[in-house]
Amino acid sequence: MYDRDYAEFLKVQNATSGFRRKVFDSLTLTYRSYFEFEYAAKWEDLSLRAITEWDDLDEPGNGVSYSTTKIGYAAIISHLTSQIPSSKLHLNHRIANIDYSGEKTKITLVNDTVIENEFDYVIVTSAIGHLKKFARKMFTPQLPKRLLKAIDKIGMGTSAKVFLEYSDTTWMDSFLSPLPVAGCQGRKELGTIESEFNTFQKVPWAPNLFMGWIAGHGPEKVDKLSDEELSKILTQLFRDIYRNSSIPQPTAVFRQKWTTNDLFGGSYSYV
């Protein structure tokens, strides 16, 4: 539907090819990328129905989204864990198998250790991306077919943030939508990485961090790069956008590689 409407729009705008086409493709990329990020879905996989079901519990016309502060999700986790004795929490114990064939459930770790305790109930909260990869061997007996089918069918995509740290931020805008356009910024074509980045913003509670948003096909491509390679590409992009060759390389790059971390297999699910 989108492709059909966009093709029609380009015709009306007399922009089916050439530079005008490149400008509209770039503008539309920001629009697409917004939805790809919110739903962690590649544009071609995202159901239009998902867009109609968006609700962040904001009141109409209020324009306020609920967000975490510099404390982030850690505040929720510390509140919950403060109620549980630390002897009951086992971090960094990766589970390979949950055997619920007997009266009590047995748990085996990936290093083949069988946990001494046996359990009445086990609640699994692994991401769908992990279950997609491991659900068929993680449970004994195997999960019912209906559940395996649901795990296969639900989408798991990736939205990711890349944080660049700087000591000098004088060159930086608080919000930058670079809209890379082939034929501008002194280059005929755009690299496949830089065209994935179309929004950066200063982190409000850490203004020395410039945060880039990536979604769709971006995270898979970016996760294959080393920090050094990524930092080089983005520095060149900023230098070209600002026409300022003295913009420094970031002092550090902070990011999670959600696509390659098999405890997650992406960042969140979509339909």
Query: Which residues of this protein are in contact with ligand FAD, per CB under 6 A?
Result: 94-95, 125-127, 130, 159-161, 258, 263-264, 267-268
Q: How far apart are CA 46 and CA 254, in angstroms?
A: 28
**Least Å distance between CB 151 and ligand FAD?**
13
Least distance from ligand FAD to the Cβ atom of residue 174, Å: 19
Cis peptide before 141 (omega within 30 of 0): yes
**How near is the Cβ of 207 to ligand FAD at its closest, in Å?**
20
Nearest to ligand FAD of 181, 215 (CB atom): 215
- Spatial contact of 56 and 66, defined as CB atoms under 8 Å apart: yes
Minimum gap (Å) between residue 75 Cβ and ligand FAD: 13
**Nearer to ligand FAD (CB atom), residue 126 or residue 201:** 126
Nearer to ligand FAD, 190 or 268 (CB): 268
Which C-beta is closer to ligand FAD: that of 26 or that of 39? 39
Which C-beta is closer to ligand FAD: that of 43 or that of 264?
264
Among candidates 243, 242, 258, which has minimal Cα distance to 210? Answer: 242
Instruction: Work out how close the CB of 179 gets to ligand FAD at its nearest, in angstroms, rounded to a whole number.
Output: 22
C-alpha separations of 253 from 31, 147, 163, 225, 228 in Å: 26, 39, 6, 12, 8
Tell the smallest beta-carbon distance from residue 264 to ligand FAD (Å): 6
Residue nearest ligand FAD (C-beta atom): 267
Which token pair is 184?
């501008």
**Closer by beta carbon to ligand FAD, 18 or else 72:** 72
Question: For the chain, where are the E strands, in sequence order?
Answer: 95-99, 106-109, 139-140, 155-157, 160-165, 175-176, 200-203, 206-214, 252-255, 268-270
- 242 vs 137: CA distance, rounded Å: 52
Nearest C-alpha neighbor of 32 from the set 230, 232, 215, 244: 215
Residue 154 to residues 45, 112, 172, Cα–Cα distance (Å)? 11, 30, 39
- Give least dist CB 262 to ligand FAD, A: 8
How is residue 209 annotated by DSSP? E
Nearer to ligand FAD, 92 or 167 (CB): 92
